[in-house]
Amino acid sequence: MGTWYLDADLAESPMYKPPERIKHRLPLAVVPSSVAAATSRLFSPLVLKSGLRLNDRTWVPAMVPWRATAEGLVTNEVLDWYGRFAKGEPGAIVCEATGIRDVPSGPLLRIGHDRFMPGLERLVQRVREQSGGRTRLFIQLIDFLRLRRRPSSERFFRSFLVLRAEHRAILSEMTGDESWADPDRRSDSRVREQLAALSDEQHVEVLDARELEALRFGARERVHDEHLPHIRDLPQTLPSLFRAAASRAKAAGFDGVELHFAHAYTMSSFLSATNDRRDGYGGDRPGRVRLPLEVYRAVRAGVGSEYSVGCRFLCDEVIETGSHVADAMWFAQRFAEEGMDFLSLSTGGKFDDAKQPKVGEAAYPYTGKSGFECMPTAIADQRGPHGRNVAKQARVRRAIRQAGHTTPVVVCGGINRFDQAEGYLQAGVGDLIGAARQTLADPDWFKKLRLGRGAEQRRCVYSNYCEGLDQRHKQVTCQLWDRRQLSEPHIGLSADGKRRLTAPPWPERSSSG
C-alpha cells in the first residue's frame, strides 16, 4: 500500500464517530476474466427512456474537487480531473454539483450565465477525447441557500444580531438593572457589548434557537423562512433557473443533467419532512414534492423528451424529524411517473446534525451521524462501510417496480468489488452501480475489471482522507496515490506543491504483454 499521509488539520476535523469502533478490513474480491466480464450484467448496455445508450452500467457520481476558479469557471485542473476519470472509460460520469445561479460560490463550477459555456464545452470535449467517446457525461445542477461562517462572539453581537425588546428585557432581569430595558438610558451598542460579555450559559437564556445557532454555527437559511421574500418566492424563481441551466448543459454538449435533490441543499430541503412551509410547498408529501416536480417539468419543457434528465435524492435523511425510506419510496414513484430517465440514490449529509465549526469556518454537512451514513469509514459499527445503505436503496427500487415503472436506479455506497456490484445487479437491487470514493482511488478500476485485469485494481480503504480535504475546501485527492511519482513531468500539483492532483497513469499494455 505504501505510506499514508494525513495533514494535521485533517486529523483534527470534527467528524462523527460511531459508538462501536470496529475496524473493517477490505473483503476478498473476486476478479473476473475478460470473458466473465463481457457476459456480466455490470458490463452490459442500458438504454434510458430518452434513447441515450450507456455502454455499461458503471457510474461515477458527482464529486466536488475544488478546482474551478473563484468565479466558477473551468480551469485546466478541472479538465485534468474529469479527463483522468474518462480514461477509465466508465459508462457515465456525473460532473460535480454546478451552481444554477450567477452568484459567488467559491471554487465550484457554475452554469448560471452564458460566459461559463466555453469552459463547459471544453470539459465535454476532454471527456469525449479521453474516453474515446465511450463515456456519457452528465452535469449535476444545484441550488443552495445562504450559509454564513461561524462568527466570533464579539462580531455576532456587534454586526449580526437583530436586537429585540426581548433581549433588553431579559438582560434587565438577569442583571437586576431596569435601565437595560430602556433605549433612552442604554444605547443599542452598549446592549450589544453587554450581551457579548455574557457566558455561554447566559446566551442560552437570552437568545432564541435560531439566534443561538447563528452564534454557535453561523446563520443558515431554511426553505421555510417564508418571512424572507427571496425564500418565499423560491417556487416562482427556481423552475426557470433550473430550466435555463439545463438548456445550457444541453447546448454545451452534455449527454444529460442530474437534478441535485439530495443532502443539505435547497431542493432536498423541500423534500424533507422538516419542511413545514404553509403555502402548499411543504407539510405533507404531496406538498413537499410539489416544487421538485415543477422544477423537473420546467427542465423537461426546456430540453425536450429526447434529452436525459434524472435526479439524485436521499433514501434516508438520518436526522430527527427528517424523511426516511418510506418517504423516499413515495417520492421515487412520483419521479418515475413524471418520466425521469434515472434516479440516483444517496443517504444523509445534512446540516441539521453537523458538528460545530471553528470560528471563521462554515458548518459542513458531513460531520454528524447523517454525514457518516453518507460516507461511512472503515472504522464503524457492526454493519461496516461496504454497501451500508444498499438495502434501503433496494426498497426504493422495489417500490418503483411495484408501481409499474422501469426507471433505472443508481445504487451506491461502499461498492468496490466486481462480485459485490454484479451481485447487486443480478439480485435486482439496482440497475447501475455508482462508486465515487473507489473511482477516486482508482479511476481505471472499471476498465481493469472489463479487460480481465482486476488484480491490478487499487481499492479504496475508506479512511475518508478525501472527505477531510473537501471539508477544508482543499483540492481533493486520494491518499493512495497523491504522494506517488511527484517527479513525473507535467503533472499538476496542489497549491502547497505536496500532492499530485490526478492519479498516476495506468500502463496501457495488453493483458498478455
Query: 233 in helix, strand or coil?
Result: coil
Q: By percentage, how much of the chain surpasses pLDDT 70?
A: 97
Contacts of 428 (CB under 8 A, 6+ apart): 394, 397, 398, 401
Catalytic residue among 5, 82, 265, 465: 265
Structural domain count of the chain: 1
Q: Could you tell me the pLDDT band of residue 3, with boundaries at 50, 70 and 90?
A: very low
Alpha helices by DSSP H, listed for 217-319, are 229-232, 234-252, 266-271, 285-303
Quote the pLDDT of residue 11: 47
265 is catalytic: yes
Location of C-alpha cell 437534478: 259
Quote the pLDDT of residue 8: 44
Alpha helices by DSSP H, listed for 65-180, are 76-87, 117-131, 153-155, 165-175
Quote the pLDDT of residue 12: 52
**pLDDT at residue 405 is higher than 60:** yes
The H or E element that residue 283 is part of is none
Mean pLDDT of 465-469: 96
Q: What is the pLDDT of residues 123-166, one digit of tens each?
A: 999 999 999 999 999 999 999 999 999 999 999 999 999 999 99
| d(C-alpha 144, C-alpha 293), whole Å | 18
Q: Tell me whether residue 292 is in a domain.
A: no
Record the cell numbers describing residue 258, joined without a space. 442530474
Quote the pLDDT of residue 157: 96
- Residues 47 and 53: beta-carbon distance below 8 Å: yes
Q: What is the pLDDT of residues 251-291, one digit of tens each?
A: 999 999 999 999 999 999 999 999 999 999 999 999 999 99
Q: What is the mean pLDDT of the chain?
A: 95
Q: Which residue has better confidence, 97 or 106?
A: 97
Q: Which domain holds residue 204?
A: 153-216
- Residues 370 and 353: beta-carbon distance below 8 Å: yes
Quote the pLDDT of residue 15: 84
Q: What is the pLDDT of residues 471-488, one digit of tens each?
A: 999 999 999 999 999 999
Quote the pLDDT of residue 97: 97
Bridging pattern class, strands 22-23 and 379-380: antiparallel
Quote the pLDDT of residue 105: 83
Residue whose C-alpha is closest to residue 96's, from 80, 112, 78, 115: 78
Residue whose C-alpha is closest to residue 189's, from 154, 216, 149: 154
Quote the pLDDT of residue 33: 97
Q: Tell me whether residue 8 is in a domain.
A: no
Q: Tell me whether residue 172 is in a domain.
A: yes
**pLDDT at residue 347 is higher than 50:** yes
Q: By percentage, how much of the chain surpasses pLDDT 90?
A: 94
**pLDDT at residue 106 is higher than 90:** no
Q: Which residue has better confidence, 95 or 512?
A: 95
Q: Tell me whether residue 169 is in a domain.
A: yes
Neighbours of 71 (CB within 10 A): 13
Q: Tell me whether residue 165 is in a domain.
A: yes
DSSP 303-362: H-TTSEEEEEEEEE--STT---HHHHHHHHHHHHHHT-S-EEEEE---STTPPPPPTTS-
**In 3-state terms, the chain is what percent helix, strand and coil (to 5)?**
40, 10, 50
Quote the pLDDT of residue 207: 97
Q: Tell me whether residue 436 is in a domain.
A: no
- Residues 314 and 263: beta-carbon distance below 8 Å: yes
Q: How many helices (H) and strands (E) does the chain have?
A: 20, 12
| d(C-alpha 477, C-alpha 503), whole Å | 8
Q: Tell me whether residue 201 is in a domain.
A: yes
| d(C-alpha 27, C-alpha 464), whole Å | 18
Query: 148 in helix, strand or coil?
Result: coil
- Residues 126 and 83: beta-carbon distance below 8 Å: yes
- Residues 405 and 338: beta-carbon distance below 8 Å: no
Q: Tell me whether residue 33 is in a domain.
A: no
**pLDDT at residue 59 is higher than 60:** yes
Q: What is the pLDDT of residues 71-95, one digit of tens each?
A: 999 999 999 999 999 999 999 999 9
Query: 470 in helix, strand or coil?
Result: helix
